[in-house]
Amino acid sequence: MRVVVVGATGNLGTATFRRLQRAPGVTALVGVARRLPDDHAEPYEGAEPYEGAEWHSVDVGAPDAKAALTAAFAGADAVIHLAWALQPSHDEKSQWRTNVTGTANVLGAASAAGVGHVLVGSSVGAYSPGPKHRRVDESWPTGGIHTSHYARHKAVNERAFDRFELEHPEVVLTRFRPGLVFQEGAGHEIRGLFLGGLPMGWLKYVRPPVVPLPVQMVFQAVHASDVGEAFWRAVERRAGGAFNIAAEPVLDPETIASVIGARRAVPVRLVAAKFLVWLTWRLRIQPTPPGWVDIAATVPIMSTEKAREVLGWEPQVSSTDALASIVAGLAHDTRTGGSGPLGG
Which element (helix H / strand E) includes 5?
A: strand 2-6
% of the chain surpassing 70 pLDDT: 94
Whole-angstrom distance, CA of residue 103 vs CA of residue 81: 8
Instruction: Give yes or no for residue 287 having a pLDDT over 50.
Output: yes
Query: Is the pTM for the entire model greater than 0.85?
Result: yes
291-306 tens-digit pLDDT = 999 999 999 999 999 9
Reply yes or no on whether the pLDDT at 174 is more than 70.
yes
User: Under a CB-based contact definition with an 8 Å cutoff, are residues 330 and 187 in contact?
Assistant: yes
What pLDDT sits at residue 45? 41
Alpha helices in 32-129 (DSSP H): 65-72, 92-96, 102-112
Average pLDDT, the chain: 92
Mean pLDDT for the stretch of residues 227-241: 98
What is the band of 336 on the pLDDT scale with cuts at 50, 70, 90?
low
- pLDDT of the residue at 304: 98
Q: How confident is the model at residue 285 (pLDDT cuts 50, 70, 90)?
A: very high
pLDDT category at 339 given cuts 50, 70, 90 is very low
Cis geometry, peptide bond prior to residue 141 (ω within 30 degrees of 0): no
Distance CA 31, CA 54 (A): 6
Is the CA virtual torsion 309, 311, 317, 320 positive or negative? negative
- pLDDT of res. 35: 87
The contacts of residue 13 (CB under 8 Å, 6+ apart) are 5, 6, 7, 31, 33, 82, 83, 338, 340, 343
pLDDT in tens, 181-202: 999 988 888 888 888 878 888 8
Closest CA to 3 of 25, 329, 287: 25
Does residue 35 or residue 108 have the better pLDDT?
108
**Bond into 290 cis (ω within 30):** no
Spans of all domains in the chain = 2-183+220-246+302-316
pLDDT tens digits for range 150-162:
999 999 999 999 9
Enclosing H/E stretch for 57: strand 54-57
* In 99-206, alpha helices (H): 102-112, 149-167, 187-190
* Count of CB atoms situated within 10 Å of the CB of 164: 21
Residue range 2-183+220-246+302-316 forms a domain whose CATH class is alpha beta
pLDDT band at 50 (very low <50, low <70, confident <90, very high): confident
In this structure, the chain runs to a length of 344
pLDDT class of 340 with cuts at 50, 70, 90: very low
8-47: per-residue pLDDT in tens?
Answer: 988 899 999 999 999 999 999 999 999 888 644 444 444 5
The stretch 151-177 carries a mean pLDDT of 98
Residue of higher predicted confidence among 216 and 46: 216
* Residue 16 exposed, middle or buried by CB count within 10 Å (0-12, 13-18, 19+): buried
Q: Contact at 8 Å (CB) between 215 and 267?
A: yes
The string of pLDDT tens digits covering residues 61-77 is: 999 999 999 999 999 99
Banded pLDDT at 344 (limits 50, 70, 90)? very low
> Does residue 338 surpass a pLDDT of 50?
no
Alpha helices by DSSP H, the chain: 11-21, 65-72, 92-96, 102-112, 149-167, 187-190, 224-237, 253-260, 270-282, 291-298, 305-310, 319-332
pLDDT tens for each residue of 75-92: 999 999 999 999 999 999
Position 236 confidence tier, pLDDT thresholds 50, 70, 90: very high
